[in-house]
Amino acid sequence: MPASAHHSFAAAFDADKAVSVQGVITQVKLANPHSWIYLDVKDASGTVQQWGFEAQTPTALIRSGVKPDVFKVGSTVTIRGCHARDAAKNEGAAREIILADGRSYIIGPKGNEPDANR
């Protein structure tokens, strides 16, 4: 796969498909070139599904004022962003994380926000 395809937001995520899910953090991988946050999310029938969200690198998160303790395993959060281009995948590109106490942080790079004008 060419490097441009690997790092292309549009190749993996659809800016026209906004996603917002609430769930419990089960795993956090703060790594380069992309961090990942995994949530257990209950669907309408009560079935738990795992979702994964790509976020910025650890260095970019820290520069944005996001400390690693924001991502506490076991805490309930809402993540907003764009859905994976493959609609069958429970994945997305994170833009924002909202903690149970209402604090919110931008955890995705500019461009991860759904484009309402498309």
pTM for the complete prediction? 0.84
For the chain, the domains span: 3-106
Residue 70 makes CB contacts below 8 A (sequence gap 6+) with 97, 99, 105
Looking at residue 87, its pLDDT comes to 87
Looking at residue 100, its pLDDT comes to 96
Looking at residue 46, its pLDDT comes to 95
pLDDT tens-place values along the chain, 118 residues long: 444 445 566 678 888 899 999 999 999 999 988 899 999 999 999 999 999 999 999 999 998 888 888 999 999 999 999 999 998 999 999 999 999 999 999 998 765 555 544 3
Distance CA 41, CA 23 (A): 4
Distance CA 46, CA 98 (A): 22
Looking at residue 56, its pLDDT comes to 93
Looking at residue 114, its pLDDT comes to 56
- Whether 41 and 22 have beta carbons less than 8 Å apart is answered as yes
What CATH number was assigned to the domain covering residues 3-106? 2.40.50.140
